[in-house]
A = this chain, B = another copy of it.
């Protein structure tokens, strides 16, 4: 999670738009443009804004009725697409179906903690059932999905939501993973009981047989705006693991790590084909970044990215200040959802709703990753040896930047 320090700035305006989304038909920029533009103009704008996949606009796919009906009866957004790759002569396609879930919390943050967690699990279960009914192979939930994103309050009582790797929420998901033969990525607040109750921001990878494959801990921790996540947990110690699942090699870049191209890079160097970015972010400043960073990572590293952001405004019992001189307030702003997939060929899906829970599904032929590597050759032209040296030098306390000064600036003044 991260924050832009501008919660009270444009927040009111944005929330009004969210509430009255239907005025503009404004669940997402793509849907707004589709509703507002002539079809031939929308097609050209879309080509430039979301790219083409194998020379064509991204294909929508249909889902079973049971999934559609769950979406309608429980009012969550549902979108489904397909990323193609070229046919190869030497290997068959490797098509996997991947899902992302974004959601708001279910009960007020003043409710008893066990009830809050249970209510979120009930809500998320419905969307997992919807994903399962559509035979999703790999599913990722949002950052710290089993609790309100309370880190803005700086109150330590929210630490009670933390769980060990094999805790309540994991057991809950293990059962669903087995039931649906599905890999599930579960980002939680972790309590490491074997290391003196240390807290971490962690993603657990649950295999399609319900087994725990492993975990990854958030590498980069924000210290931005009115709050500081390092109040609760520190930089992760798990490196950049790639998890080889039954359906492909996946990794998890948790939230603020998306601002760090080196973090994206390292998952790529370890061979990731899909990198998930479960996030929790609000505000005027980060929303324009949101469609940029994950797409750039997919392009630069020749893998797919699944970006997830939570939904809604979470109001806390005790007001807090934001270090910006503005009055105290009890909420952290609007989590704008907008989950989406990016592909290595620079195409991407439209995003899910800015104001509703949602399930985004996409088929993706993982062969596209190597095809793009062969075509563009970014790995072979990267000159890593130069950058290992550059970074090593930069880390030295006496580092001198490579600066060439205009000599006319250095002339002694007469």
Inter-chain contact B296/A52, CB cutoff 8 Å = no
Evaluate contact between A270 and B401: CB separation under 8 angstroms.
Answer: yes
Partner of A244, one of B47, B345, B403: B403
Which residue in chain B gives the minimum CB-CB distance to A391? B388
Give per-residue flags for A336-355: 1 if the beta carbon is below 8 A from chain B beta carbons, else 0: 00000000011100000000
A45-B32, A262-B382, A408-B211 are known contacts. Are A292 and B295 too (CB-CB below 8 A)? yes
Question: Restricting to A315-372, which residues have a CB under 8 Å from any CB of B?
Answer: 345-347
Find the B residue at minimum CB distance from A256. B381
Shortest Cβ gap from A414 to chain B (Å): 15
Contact among B41, B220, B244, B375 for A382, CB-based, below 8 A = B220
Partner of A271, one of B219, B241, B403: B403
Nearest chain-B residue to A6 (Cβ)? B55
Is A90 in the interface zone, CB < 8 Å from B?
no
User: What are the residues of chain B within 8 A of A270 when measuring CB–CB?
Assistant: 401-403
Q: A17-B44, A391-B391 are in contact. Are A346 and B242 (CB under 8 A)?
A: no
Answer whether residue A33 sits at the interface, using C-beta atoms and an 8 A cutoff.
yes
Which residues on the B side are within 8 Å of A245 (C-beta)?
406, 409
Tell me whether A246 is interfacial, beta carbon within 8 Å: yes
Interface locus among A119-127, A165-173, A283-291 = A283-291
Note all chain B residues with C-beta closer than 8 A to A285: 51-52, 345-346
Q: Which of A75-83, A94-102, A143-151, A221-229 contacts B (4 or more CB under 8 A)?
A: A221-229
A211, B387: Cβ atoms under 8 Å? no
- Decide: B383 and A224 in contact? CB cutoff 8 A: no
Pick the residue among B45, B241, B286, B394 that contacts A402 (CB under 8 A).
B241
Shortest distance between the CB of A357 and any CB in chain B (Å): 20
A37 contacts the other chain (CB 8 A): yes
Q: Is A48 close to B, CB under 8 A?
A: yes
Counted per complex, copies of this chain come to 2
A24 within 8 A of B: yes
Contact of A243 among B220, B284, B404 (CB under 8 A): B404
Across-interface contacts of A409 in B (CB, < 8 A):
244-246
Interface centre among A48, A289, A409 (most CB of B within 10 A): A48
Question: How far does the alpha carbon of A15 sit from the alpha carbon of B29 in the complex, in Å?
Answer: 27
Chain A, interface size category, equals 35 or more
A108 within 8 A of B: no
B211 lies within 8 A of A289 (CB): no
Nearest-CB distance from A324 to chain B (Å)?
A: 11
Nearest chain B residue, comparing its CB with the CB of A293 = B296
**Alpha-carbon distance between A406 and B385 when the two chains are bound, in angstroms:** 32
Question: Which of A41, A244, A261 has the most chain B CB atoms closer than 10 A to its own CB?
Answer: A261
Q: Which residues of B sit under 8 angstroms from A66, Cβ to Cβ?
A: none
Which chain A residues have a beta carbon within 8 Å of chain B's beta carbons?
Answer: 5-6, 9-10, 17, 24, 26, 29, 32-33, 36-38, 40-41, 44-45, 47-52, 55, 205, 207, 209, 211, 213-214, 219-225, 235, 239-246, 249, 256, 259-262, 264-266, 269-271, 284-289, 291-293, 295-296, 299-300, 345-347, 375-378, 380-388, 390-392, 394-395, 401-409
Enumerate 14 A-B pairs (CB-CB under 8 Å) in ascending A order.
A17-B44, A32-B41, A51-B288, A213-B406, A224-B375, A241-B402, A242-B401, A259-B300, A261-B262, A269-B390, A292-B295, A293-B300, A388-B392, A391-B391
- Nearest first, the 8 A-B pairs at minimum CB distance are A51-B288, A261-B261, A296-B296, A388-B391, A270-B401, A214-B404, A262-B387, A244-B405
